[in-house]
């Protein structure tokens, strides 16, 4: 049974893979498919039997890719949304276009909702809920949300996973992994962007987002982190009514932070909310190293007494101690306009390519920092400054952590909301105490002592392992078991083209032999005849003519005369 399910899943993945290639081809990405070595499989058949979109010529590549992602469905919409935060991987035109991607999916029926709830919780719906509103509050690609009431009377919202979404996502991930592998083998320079690594990171993110129990634990972790902050509120999770596919949370009635007029009507203070929101986000990032990754205004509700409640915890970012240290150091260097320190930090912490032009990088960073010399600190938009900085280092193929990219995007949203609530909002003023605190911790005797101990421990482990590693290498050499694996990148396409050329040459030689042989038989004038011609000669000419026409047609279609 398990083997049958595995075969069925593989068939579904292959079918999805072919559909992805077809959609990309229909949206005018033939050249990209040819680079992946897929031209012979799909592109030619599409040219014979299908036509591209009629308005394809007037659209940019970024617009066509957005339309392709929307046609391919929920998984690819999520992929585009995540890539919109990765300005270090895709061009800005694609970033701006992917930001327009929305989860425009129809809601699934209330009957399916009830089936999902009873299946996810392992018992009939009436064992858990007194009533459920059949009209969803929201519908997205992975789940939809319904308002409900527990048997004990509490008002709640139920997040219900979409039926069959796990199977769809897994098939899409399998197909994406295959395409990423082709990109690494066939596209020169693709190793700079690590396509397989990007797909793995995306798979990890979307699988976590589909596991609602993780989201519930995330909410509780945020609540614990802000346990001593009275103006932050996090919805309660009802675990008895929750599972991996169902999440039941406290219903929160509040005002969206983007509705400034309603905030004023209810006596709330927009300026105070801007300051509290900034402090909350910076504390998440620089103190906890664990932050909300989707802080658009629709995910923040304001409760009485200017209390902030955040919603939708499916996407979160994490910064370990090294990344937090790098972030505080780089922000301090940028704010203090210390370009030499910026370059030093990048060279030490970034993933640097072998052909990095350090002189050009310094020049562009000088120009970047000079652009902020005349701007008062209170007028600097830290989020946009950080995004501009990332754009510059991206030009030099310096790779940084995806969580850092998510942070920069979130910082832009937080800062934009803060300025909308309070025109005099100054993110630099909020950032300064956190940087000062981080720098004090960095140079504290306790931290220095700990760093020294870690360094000494690392060198001690290295010294301890060197004799064993040398012995292992020598033993392998003595047993003729020492191997060096070399990987040739970019040769697969050359090999395929070479094989195709050899096949054509071999076919031409066979054709020539058939024509010569048929001509010799024609001269002998022996054997059975058709219309006065020897049958064998007639058959030889016919086969040679058909194969020859097919070969000429194939060469013309390939565009390589």
Residue 68 has pLDDT above 90, yes or no: no
Weakest mean pLDDT among 38-42, 176-180, 207-211, 268-272:
38-42
Please indicate whether residue 294 is annotated as part of the active site.
yes
Question: How far from 129 is each of 113, 145, 163, CA to CA, in Å?
Answer: 13, 15, 20
Q: Is the domain of 440 the same as that of 540?
A: no
Written as six digits, the tokens of 413 are 């949203």
Q: What DSSP letter does each residue of 179-223 carry, written as one string?
A: HHHHHHHHSTTGGGT-HHHHHHHHHHHHHHHH-HHHHHHHHHHHH
Q: What is the mean pLDDT of residues 466-487?
A: 75
Residue at a domain's end among 204, 225, 260? 204
- What are the b/e assignments for 157-180, b being 16+ CB within 10 Å? bbbbbbbebbebbbbbbbbbbbbb
| Assigned domain for 338 exists | yes
Write down the pTM of the prediction: 0.72
In which residue are the tokens 């032999």 written?
513
Weakest mean pLDDT among 22-31, 33-42, 150-159, 430-439:
33-42
Nearest to 382 by CA among 356, 408, 406: 408
| Assigned domain for 380 exists | yes
**Distance of alpha carbon 519 from alpha carbon 50, whole angstroms:** 42
Q: Which residues contact 524 (CB under 8 A, 6 or more apart)?
A: 534
Q: Is the domain of 439 the same as that of 551?
A: no
Q: Is the domain of 499 the same as that of 426?
A: no
Residue 346 has pLDDT above 90, yes or no: no
Nearest to 66 by CA among 46, 83, 54, 52: 83
Written as six digits, the tokens of 316 are 């979160």
pLDDT of residue 314: 82
Q: Judge whether 145 and 159 are in contact, CB under 8 Å.
A: yes
Q: Judge whether 369 and 339 are in contact, CB under 8 Å.
A: yes
Dihedral in degrees, nearest 10, Cα atoms 527, 531, 532, 535: -30
Q: What is the mean pLDDT of residues 508-522?
A: 76
**Distance of alpha carbon 117 from alpha carbon 137, whole angstroms:** 16
Helices and strands: H and E segment counts in the chain:
21, 13
Number of domains the chain is built from? 3
**β-sheet bridge partners, residue 248:** 158
Question: How far from 179 is each of 36, 172, 173, 329, CA to CA, in Å?
Answer: 8, 11, 10, 38
Question: How far from 329 is each of 267, 324, 389, CA to CA, in Å?
Answer: 40, 8, 14
pLDDT of residue 252: 92
Weakest mean pLDDT among 136-140, 263-267, 339-343:
339-343
**Distance of alpha carbon 399 from alpha carbon 88, whole angstroms:** 7
pLDDT: which is higher, 560 or 315: 315
Residue 238 has pLDDT above 90, yes or no: yes
Q: Is the domain of 177 the same as that of 28?
A: yes
Q: What is the mean pLDDT of residues 114-138?
A: 93
Burial label for 9, CB within 10 Å (0-12, 13-18, 19+), is middle
pLDDT of residue 8: 45
The conformation of residue 125, written as its DSSP 8-state character, comes to: G
Q: Is the domain of 324 the same as that of 438?
A: yes
**Distance of alpha carbon 511 from alpha carbon 547, whole angstroms:** 8
Q: Is the domain of 344 the same as that of 439?
A: yes
Residue 3 has pLDDT above 50, yes or no: no
pLDDT of residue 303: 93
Q: Is the domain of 442 the same as that of 509?
A: no
**Distance of alpha carbon 37 from alpha carbon 501, whole angstroms:** 15
Q: Judge whether 418 and 277 are in contact, CB under 8 Å.
A: yes
Q: What is the pLDDT of residues 398-443, one digit of tens each?
A: 777 778 778 888 888 888 888 888 888 888 788 778 777 777 777 7
pLDDT of residue 2: 36
pLDDT, the chain, mean: 79
Confidence of residue 48 (pLDDT cuts 50, 70, 90): very low
**β-sheet bridge partners, residue 132:** 148
| Assigned domain for 134 exists | no
**Count of Cβ atoms closer than 10 Å to residue 484 Cβ:** 4
**Distance of alpha carbon 217 from alpha carbon 76, whole angstroms:** 26
| Assigned domain for 457 exists | no
Q: What is the mean pLDDT of residues 276-305?
A: 88
Q: Judge whether 44 and 557 are in contact, CB under 8 Å.
A: yes
Residue 1 has pLDDT above 50, yes or no: no
The answer for 309, left when phi > 0, alpha when psi is -120 to 50, beta otherwise, is beta
Q: Which residues contact 213 (CB under 8 A, 6 or more apart)?
A: 242, 243, 244, 247
pLDDT of residue 5: 37
pLDDT above 90: percentage of residues in the chain: 20
Confidence of residue 485 (pLDDT cuts 50, 70, 90): low
Q: Which of 308-317, 389-398, 436-445 has the highest mean pLDDT?
A: 308-317
Q: What is the mean pLDDT of residues 165-180?
A: 87
Q: Is the domain of 334 the same as that of 422?
A: yes
The maximal CA–CA distance of the chain, rounded, in angstroms, is 109
pLDDT of residue 93: 83
**Distance of alpha carbon 482 from alpha carbon 475, whole angstroms:** 9
pLDDT of residue 375: 66
Residue at a domain's end among 446, 480, 504? 446
Confidence of residue 195 (pLDDT cuts 50, 70, 90): confident
Confidence of residue 54 (pLDDT cuts 50, 70, 90): low
Residue 368 has pLDDT above 80, yes or no: no
Weakest mean pLDDT among 47-51, 276-280, 362-366:
47-51
Residue at a domain's end among 146, 181, 204? 204
| Assigned domain for 486 exists | no
Q: Is the domain of 68 the same as that of 191?
A: yes
Residue 559 has pLDDT above 70, yes or no: no
Q: Is the domain of 433 the same as that of 523?
A: no
Weakest mean pLDDT among 131-135, 306-310, 349-353, 526-530:
349-353
Provide the domain limits for residue 532: 491-558
In which residue are the tokens 């068939």 written?
11
Q: What is the mean pLDDT of residues 113-122?
A: 93
Weakest mean pLDDT among 211-225, 316-330, 341-355, 513-527:
341-355
Q: Which residues contact 529 (CB under 8 A, 6 or more apart)?
A: 535
pLDDT of residue 158: 95
Q: What is the mean pLDDT of residues 61-87?
A: 82
Written as six digits, the tokens of 111 are 């009957």
**Distance of alpha carbon 387 from alpha carbon 389, whole angstroms:** 5
| Assigned domain for 215 exists | no
pLDDT of residue 235: 94
Q: Is the domain of 325 the same as that of 440?
A: yes
| Assigned domain for 220 exists | no
Which three-class secondary structure string do you get for 401-432?
A: CHHHHHHHHHHHHHHHHHHHHCCCCCHHHHHH
| Assigned domain for 550 exists | yes
Q: Is the domain of 37 the same as that of 93?
A: yes
pLDDT above 70: percentage of residues in the chain: 80
Q: Which of 88, 172, 294, 312 is catalytic?
A: 294
Q: Judge whether 392 and 371 are in contact, CB under 8 Å.
A: no
Backbone angles phi, psi at 148, to 5 degrees: -155, 175
Residue 334 has pLDDT above 90, yes or no: no
Question: What angle is formed at CA 260 by the lines to CA 255 and CA 264, rounded to 5 degrees?
Answer: 85
pLDDT: which is higher, 519 or 495: 519
Question: How far from 151 is each of 113, 122, 241, 304, 397, CA to CA, in Å?
Answer: 18, 17, 11, 27, 57
Q: Which of 289-293, 306-310, 393-397, 459-463 has the highest mean pLDDT?
A: 306-310
Residue 549 has pLDDT above 50, yes or no: yes
Helix (H, G, I), strand (E, B) or coil at 91: coil
Question: How far from 79 is each of 62, 169, 202, CA to CA, in Å?
Answer: 14, 11, 7
Cα 437 to the chain's mean position, in Å? Answer: 33
Nearest to 371 by CA among 359, 358, 384, 352: 384
Q: Which of 12-16, 29-33, 309-313, 354-358 has the highest mean pLDDT?
A: 309-313
């Amino acid at each position: 049974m398990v083997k049958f399910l595995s075969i069925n899943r593989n068939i579904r993945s292959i079918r999805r893979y072919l559909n992805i290639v077809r959609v990309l081809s229909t949206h005018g990405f033939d050249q990209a498919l040819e680079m992946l070595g897929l031209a012979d499989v799909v592109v030619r058949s599409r040219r014979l039997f299908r036509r591209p979109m009629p308005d394809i010529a007037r659209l940019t590549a970024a617009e066509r890719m957005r339309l392709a992602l929307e046609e391919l469905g929920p998984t690819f919409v999520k992929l585009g949304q995540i890539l919109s935060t990765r300005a270090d991987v895709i061009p800005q035109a694609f970033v701006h276009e992917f930001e327009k991607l929305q989860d425009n999916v129809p809601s699934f029926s209330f009957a399916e909702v009830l089936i999902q709830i009873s299946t996810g919780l392992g018992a009939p719906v009436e064992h858990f809920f007194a009533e459920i509103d059949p009209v969803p509050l929201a519908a997205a690609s992975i789940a939809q949300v319904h308002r409900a009431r527990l048997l004990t009377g509490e008002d709640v919202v139920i997040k219900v996973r979409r039926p069959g979404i796990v199977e769809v996502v897994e098939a899409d991930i399998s197909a994406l992994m295959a395409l990423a592998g082709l990109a690494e083998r066939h596209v020169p320079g693709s190793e700079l962007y690590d396509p397989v690594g990007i797909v793995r990171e995306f798979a990890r993110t979307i699988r976590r987002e589909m596991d609602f129990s993780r989201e519930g634990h995330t909410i509780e972790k945020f609540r614990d982190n802000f346990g001593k902050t009275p103006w932050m509120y996090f919805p309660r999770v009802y675990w008895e009514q929750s599972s991996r596919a169902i999440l039941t949370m406290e219903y929160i009635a509040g005002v969206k932070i983007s509705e400034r007029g309603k905030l004023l009507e209810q006596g709330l203070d927009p300026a105070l909310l801007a300051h509290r929101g900034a402090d909350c986000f910076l504390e998440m990032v620089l103190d906890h190293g664990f932050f909300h990754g989707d802080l658009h205004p629709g995910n923040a509700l304001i409760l009485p007494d200017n209390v902030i409640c955040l919603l939708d915890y499916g996407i979160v970012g994490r910064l370990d101690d090294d990344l937090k240290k790098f972030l505080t150091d780089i922000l301090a260097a940028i704010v203090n306009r210390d370009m030499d320190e910026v370059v030093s930090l990048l060279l030490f912490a970034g993933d640097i390519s072998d052909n990095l032009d350090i002189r050009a990088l310094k020049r562009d960073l000088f120009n970047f920092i000079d652009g902020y010399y005349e701007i008062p600190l209170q007028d600097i938009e830290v989020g946009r400054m950080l995004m501009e900085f990332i754009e510059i280092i991206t030009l030099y193929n310096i790779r940084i952590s995806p969580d850092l990219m998510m942070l920069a995007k979130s910082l832009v949203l937080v800062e934009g909301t803060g300025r909308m609530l309070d025109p005099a909002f100054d993110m630099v003023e909020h950032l300064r105490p956190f940087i000062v605190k981080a720098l004090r911790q960095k140079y504290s005797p306790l931290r220095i002592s700990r760093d020294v101990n870690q360094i000494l421990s690392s060198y001690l482990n290295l010294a301890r392992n060197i004799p064993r590693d040398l012995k292992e290498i020598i033993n392998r050499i003595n047993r003729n078991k020492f191997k060096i694996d070399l990987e040739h990148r970019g040769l697969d396409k050359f090999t395929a083209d070479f094989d195709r050329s050899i096949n054509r040459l071999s076919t031409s030689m066979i054709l020539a032999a058939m024509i010569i042989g048929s001509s010799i038989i024609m001269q002998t004038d022996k054997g059975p005849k058709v219309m006065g011609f020897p049958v064998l000669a007639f058959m030889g000419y016919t086969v040679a003519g058909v194969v020859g026409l097919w070969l000429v047609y194939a060469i013309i279609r390939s565009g390589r005369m």
